[in-house]
Amino acid sequence: MKLGMIMGCEPKSFDEAKELGLDFVEFDLNNPGYWGPMMDDVLPIKEELKAASERTGIEVGAIGRWGSQIIAKDGSIDEWELNEVKKAIDLTQYLGAHHYLMSCNYVPEITYYQNITSAINMFKILVEYGKERDVTICAVNCQMGHNYIRTPEQWKLVLDEVPGLMIKYDPSHSFVHGGEKGAYMQEGLDWGDKFGYIHVKGVIQAGDSQEVETWKNFHLMRKYNQMANAISKETEEGKKFAELFAKLNDEIIGHGFNHRNYDNPPAGLDAIDWRGFMAILYKYGFDGHLSIEPHSPSWTGEKGDKGVKYTIKYMRDLMI
């Protein structure tokens, strides 16, 4: 196995990864609606990225794109998003990586059956596109951006229909539907042979997850914030309304991902049985990439740096 980390898409990340004793970096180039860049803003530095990789000996483990709005409201494939995804897969190939991590959005305007059918059609196109470039497509199990191909309910419908499609698995996300103990052990035992890439992120949770409701509020506030901005252009009262709404938006979204019953501390200082989970990976002969994902508002700055180093040591001790 190889150990790496999600880092900024810039040349200096390779040097930082090498200093930490890591094997690879992962670059996540999300849909612009979810804190990501336009692909045309990234491509101009691809030569610098490749040169930094070759100079340091640190590889690119994967490129990911969360929040992909690739299914249109009528169930067809959004051509703009498809083009962006293909650019990202091309970059994956150029940098010598072999995994592309992506989501698939649920569309409420069509039925569940139609959504599943659209997802299958889309994944078939991209799995073939990736195969031609020696890039494996992995469906992520995070719900950001209305992603729903993330639990066994959907995997059993989609994966058999799309040969070659794998799962990017993060055990912490199983706490969303699996309660405070998560569902990762059962999911790993049942689906471990389909795991193509692993995220290493700690979790502590008391009671049921609030993440579904948090994302619902996030999308509602984003929708009405756009309306408020439009109104503010019309009248002085509209501007006042927009200012008040912006404060409300900051209050709800700003604190929405910082729950008192949940956190993502460094792996090894959390509730996940990483020894047991690693045993599942070894059971299925997984010999791929373990990518650390620092993801907690409680672990930043110097404390966050110490947490990363702790996780690196902890996970290295579990790798044989």
More confident residue, 308 or 258: 308
Q: Where on the phi/psi map is residue 75: left (φ > 0), alpha (ψ -120 to 50), or beta?
A: left
Residues in the chain: 320
What tokens were used for 137?
């497509």
**Span 182-217, pLDDT tens digits:** 999 999 999 999 999 999 999 999 999 888 777 777
Span 270-297, pLDDT tens digits = 999 999 999 999 999 999 999 999 989 9
CATH class assigned to 2-207+262-316: alpha beta
The pLDDT of residue 46 is 98
- Is there a contact between 73 and 107 (Cβ–Cβ < 8 Å)? yes
pLDDT, tens digit, for every residue of 62-91? Answer: 999 999 999 999 999 999 999 999 999 999
* Token output for 77: 């494939």
* β partners of residue 47: none
Q: Label residue 286 left, alpha or beta by phi (over 0 means left) and psi (-120 to 50 means alpha).
A: beta
pLDDT per position as a tens digit, 28-72: 999 999 999 999 999 999 999 999 999 999 999 999 999 999 999
- Beta-carbon contacts of residue 195 (< 8 Å; ≥ 6 apart): 166, 167, 169, 188, 281, 284, 286
Say what the pTM is: 0.90
Per residue in 96-141, pLDDT (tens digit) is 999 999 999 999 999 999 999 999 999 999 999 999 999 999 999 9
In sequence order, which residues have a C-beta less than 8 Å from that of residue 205 and are 6 or more positions away? 175, 179, 180, 182, 261, 262, 271
Domain ranges of the chain: 2-207+262-316, 211-258
- Greatest Cα-to-Cα distance within the chain, rounded to the nearest angstrom: 66
Ranking 17-21, 258-262, 297-301 by mean pLDDT, the lowest is 258-262
